[in-house]
């Protein structure tokens, strides 16, 4: 199981790979605030892929977990202390509660999550691990990562080269 930030939902949705991501992790969950960002706000802004994300929530590919009041209070304290968005702090609290993996493309969120003992994956980690596990071949993995970048996932050019090298050396 994995807890997803908005970026993996948006970009895997845009390339038609949310079901693949669920197969990789077994179960995908997020918070109501991420639903607002990836569906409600995205609709208002006319962002591409919203209908795919809505369908994924409707069909249970993505599930929503709300936090209890005391957990939201903890998230507020974490957000204030760490100077991160409340939505990010809620993801940390939920992931820690579920003893799960947090998937994001946000460097600061990853650093704060790790400080709180939360295991993290970058948005492209499942692709690389799928090559290691023999579930994707190297070409397909590079194609998926290329599609994510074309869909808007931000990866520095030097990081992209490193990811491709890692895949080639598997």
Instruction: State how far the Cα of 96 lies from the Cα of 118, in Å rounded to an integer.
Output: 6
**pLDDT number for residue 112:** 98
CA 75, CA 88: separation in Å to the nearest integer? Answer: 8
The strand ranges marked E within 16-170 are 28-30, 62-64, 101-104, 119-122
pLDDT tens-place string over residues 90-101: 999 999 999 999
- 2-122, CATH topology level: Rossmann fold (3.40.50)
- Reported pTM: 0.95
Res. 167 pLDDT band, cuts 50 70 90: very high
Output the average pLDDT for the chain. Answer: 97
**Residue 29: predicted pLDDT:** 98
Structure confidence by residue, pLDDT tens digits, 104-120? 999 999 999 999 999 99
Q: Where are the domains of the chain?
A: 2-122, 125-168
Give mean pLDDT, residues 20-41.
97
pLDDT at 170 (0 to 100): 95
């Amino acid at each position: 199981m994995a807890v997803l930030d908005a970026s993996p939902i948006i970009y895997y949705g845009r390339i038609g790979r949310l079901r693949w991501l669920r197969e990789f992790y077994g179960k995908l969950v997020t918070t109501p605030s991420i639903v607002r960002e990836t569906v409600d706000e995205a609709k208002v802004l006319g962002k591409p892929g919203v209908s795919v994300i809505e369908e994924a929530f409707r069909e249970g590919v993505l599930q929503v977990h709300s936090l209890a009041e005391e957990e939201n209070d903890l998230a507020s304290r974490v957000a204030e202390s760490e100077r991160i968005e409340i939505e990010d702090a809620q993801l940390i609290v939920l992931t820690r509660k579920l003893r799960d993996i947090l998937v994001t493309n946000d460097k600061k969120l990853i650093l704060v999550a790790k400080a709180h003992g939360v295991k993290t994956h970058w948005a492209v980690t499942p692709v690389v691990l799928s090559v290691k596990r023999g579930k994707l071949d190297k070409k397909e993995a590079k194609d998926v990562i290329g599609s994510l970048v074309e869909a808007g996932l931000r990866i520095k050019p030097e990081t992209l080269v490193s990811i491709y090298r890692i895949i080639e050396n598997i």
